[in-house]
Amino acid sequence: MVAYIKKMAVDRHKWIDEATFKDGVVLCQSIPGSTAMQTAAYVGLRTRNILGAFVSYVGFGLPAFILMLVFSALYTGSHNMPKVVSLFSGLQVIVVAIVAQAAFSFGKGMLKSYHDIFIPVISGILLWIGISPFIVILGAALAGIMFFKKSDTPKAFNQVKKETQIFKQISLIVLFLSLSLTALYFFDKNLFNLAALMFKIDLFAFGGGFAALPLMHHEIVGVRGWMSSKTFMDGIALGQITPGPITMSTTFVGYLLYGFSGAAVATLAIFTPSFLMVVLITPFFDKLKGSPYFLGATRAIYASFVGLLCFVTIKFAYAVPWNMAKILLVLITLVALFKKVDILYVVLVGALASLFIF
């Protein structure tokens, strides 16, 4: 998705130049949240200031939200039908393969020393014995500051001027957000708790959408018991069919819990912190990017997500009743993903095959 945003913003419409776009990708990969959504917001910010960022952000996510809402409604009314059970029996296996491949991809790009390998192993063990992933991530950040703070700092990009107008607009957004959350607390505490949880998940999801999965699984399935691992995996599978980030699965979670209002609150909450961080941090990122402490902390956090994703892969695999057909399907899916077959085709073909196999 990031590559396609570049094609549209740099090559076709020439809204920003390639160097500026690359700076934005570095920024969006360095802070928590969905990288593609944040990149869209960054392009809008560079093109039309904060209003452009808001419009780009909403425009990028809205189609996926609408589709996910439709899928969630259909799922609620039909998930016990034999054909639908067959469909999701195969899709759950595909989800195991998708998360396993994501863990491998994280590890391949980040594990470069024994410290890098040590952190995901310890992170996975801590999560297995019941330690909160939020504590694991904070611990990884501290370890990164100690072990990686002497890492080479990359070249900083051009300083972005602070604009008083942007900070005034951000202040108004934060004020509106605070008032909305306060009103939600008194109106419906269940929706408030849902929003607060999604806020927290987004603030810790370094490394893009897949990094949110261990956090979501821990809180939604493990701590709160809002749904089973199988149902959560169904939501992830539906999220892979939509043209948006994988964190759009929060729409599914919210809808199953509290209907349309739950879907809307969960989706807004999971993406709002990301938007605010892009707009707020852009003017300061030049200095932040040159900090060895920041680089060390983020490097270790990314490494910890390898362990967290491995843990989630194992938990998802435990939730699947395996047989030879499912083992064969997961192996074929892994081969397709490593051959870089588009994930949408993998999911759609796998879904079609599931209807006949299961």
What is the C-alpha to C-alpha distance for residues 62 and 65, in angstroms, rounded to an integer? Answer: 5
Share of the chain above pLDDT 70, in %: 92
For helices 229-241 and 292-318, angle between their N-to-C axes, nearest 10 degrees: 110
Six-digit token pair at 72?
């969630």
Six-digit token pair at 236?
């992830």
Instruction: Pick the more confident residue, 61 or 88.
Output: 61
* Cα 304–chain centre separation: 15
Residue-level pLDDT at 355: 85
Nearest to 43 by CA among 77, 78, 76, 11: 11
- The count of C-alpha atoms lying within 13 angstroms of the C-alpha of 124, restricted to the half-sphere facing its C-beta, is 15
Residue-level pLDDT at 79: 75
- Identity of residue 125: I
Give just the sign of the alpha carbon dihedral 322, 325, 331, 335. Answer: negative
Residue-level pLDDT at 245: 82
Residue-level pLDDT at 165: 63
Judge whether 192 and 179 are in contact, CB under 8 Å.
no
pLDDT digits (tens, 9 = 90+) for 145-181: 887 765 444 444 444 444 566 667 677 777 888 888 8
pLDDT digits (tens, 9 = 90+) for 279-296: 888 877 767 777 888 888
Six-digit token pair at 248?
């759009």
pTM of the predicted protein model = 0.79
The residue with tokens 């939600």 is 184
Q: Is the pLDDT of residue 318 over 70?
A: yes
pLDDT digits (tens, 9 = 90+) for 141-153: 898 888 776 544 4
User: How many beta carbons lie within 10 A of that of residue 199, not counting itself?
Assistant: 16
